[in-house]
Amino acid sequence: MDGEAIKRLLEGSGLRCTAQRYAVMAFLVEHAGHPTAAEIFEAVNRLDPRSSRATTYNNLRDLVQAGLVREVAVEGRAARFDAKGMRHHHFICDRCGEVEDMEWCDVPRPGSGSLGKRVLRECEIIFRGLCAKCAPRHASRKVS
Amino acid sequence: MDGEAIKRLLEGSGLRCTAQRYAVMAFLVEHAGHPTAAEIFEAVNRLDPRSSRATTYNNLRDLVQAGLVREVAVEGRAARFDAKGMRHHHFICDRCGEVEDMEWCDVPRPGSGSLGKRVLRECEIIFRGLCAKCAPRHASRKVS
DNA sequence: CTCAAAACTTAGATTATGTCTAATTTGATA
DNA sequence: TATCAAATTAGACATAATCTAAGTTTTGAG
């Protein structure tokens, strides 16, 4: 995705394409590794320190509200973000908190009986366990 | 579930049944509404102030590690807890953060190809949208 | 173009949530 | 009862995220 595409993405969602907001979105598009807000802030400021921490959080919130970015909460750790590209599920490592994408598959929808008055927007599967890096160390150590 | 059953549950998992730990577990068994740690602390201390905040957090962590309690992370809000009774999925309200149980159904397992070296422990579906209380207000208001 | 309003950004204070420390208490068991 | 590991405690500390109030930029009406 090039710069123009990102600009169109933002403006198509009613968000102005400011330097700071563009930087956050572009970083997320290029880095699929589910960075935290702190990592995003540090990365976009490393070479071009023109965005404050508050703005990074503001823009992440705006992007999530616009539906361009997904926020993944992880028990006991900072939230992680990814650009909503292809649909996918998530694998969360019990040990290191790493979030990884898992191949998309359809999710069984709840019957309207069990849904009641709720309005469903999306369904996602969370797989939990040990990531490829942590799995080998598992045999001898209690998962903490 | 009576007091003896809770005691057996704790001791069966290698945890001593202390007054404070029992209070946390009993509260979770009786209150299926996914309370936060702060709510649990406040509730178990309202009439019988014998547990500190640190102990409440320690015990919640112990219970989660022992597999007796589940922790549910919610984007932008405090973690919520529930006693692992029947298996169920979760519905999280976009607007108010409320966590509700959804009927259990089997989750499609990822093929061993897409799983790679990862070790899978559990799968859960997260349904997102508006809860029954928030849905009616939706038409006129942007979901904040 | 000009001006005012709206959108956006900012630094730093503040809040919310959760963890750690060091001292003390509890309780199982020898 | 004496011992010692487990559990608890108060409060300091850490971290993540939000808020505030002021300043800056962009937009659009006139």
**CATH of residue A34:** 1.10.10.10
* pLDDT tens-digit readout, B28-53: 999 999 999 999 999 999 988 899 99
Q: What share of chain B is helix, strand, coil (3-state, %, to 5)?
A: 35, 25, 40
**End-of-domain residue from the set A50, A66, A84:** A84
- Look at residue B103 in the predicted model and tell me its pLDDT: 94
**What percentage of chain B exceeds 70 in pLDDT?**
95
Same-domain check for residues B78 and B92 = no
- Look at residue B144 in the predicted model and tell me its pLDDT: 32
- Look at residue B88 in the predicted model and tell me its pLDDT: 95
Domain of residue B57 covers 1-84
**End-of-domain residue from the set A84, A108, A128:** A84
Same-domain check for residues A79 and A31 = yes
Cβ distance of B116 and A102 shorter than 8 Å: no
Same-domain check for residues B80 and B13 = yes
Cβ distance of A91 and B118 shorter than 8 Å: yes
Query: Taking chain A (144 residues) in consecutive chunks of 10 residues, what is each chunk's mean pLDDT?
Result: 92 96 97 97 92 98 97 96 95 94 93 93 95 76 36
Same-domain check for residues A106 and A125 = yes
- Look at residue B111 in the predicted model and tell me its pLDDT: 86
Class of residue A59 by CB neighbours under 10 A (exposed 0-12, middle 13-18, buried 19+): buried
Structure tokens at B105: 């159904």
- Considering its fold, how many domains does chain B have in total? 2
Q: B130 pLDDT exceeds 90?
A: yes
Q: B17 pLDDT exceeds 70?
A: yes
- In angstroms and rounded to an integer, the radius of gyration of the C-alpha atoms of chain B is 17
- Look at residue A138 in the predicted model and tell me its pLDDT: 59
Q: B94 pLDDT exceeds 80?
A: yes
**End-of-domain residue from the set A57, A84, A111:** A84
Same-domain check for residues A65 and A128 = no
Q: B54 pLDDT exceeds 50?
A: yes
Nearest to A76, CA basis, from A94, A61, A90: A94
Same-domain check for residues A18 and A70 = yes
Query: How many residue contacts between A and B have a Cβ separation below 8 Å?
Result: 110
Same-domain check for residues A91 and A58 = no
Same-domain check for residues B35 and B100 = no
Residue A72 distance to chain B (closest CA, Å) = 7
Nearest by CB to B129, which of A94, A118, A135? A118
Same-domain check for residues A63 and A96 = no
Cβ distance of B128 and A114 shorter than 8 Å: no
Nearest by CB to A75, which of B73, B123, B132? B73
- Look at residue B140 in the predicted model and tell me its pLDDT: 42
Cβ distance of A121 and B131 shorter than 8 Å: no
Same-domain check for residues B90 and B80 = no
Same-domain check for residues B127 and B142 = yes
Nearest by CB to A120, which of B110, B124, B127? B127
Same-domain check for residues A74 and A94 = no
- Give nucleotides in strand C with any atom < 7 A to a protein C-beta: 7-12, 16-21, 26-28
> From the C1' of D27, which residue's alpha carbon is nearest?
A16
- Look at residue B138 in the predicted model and tell me its pLDDT: 59
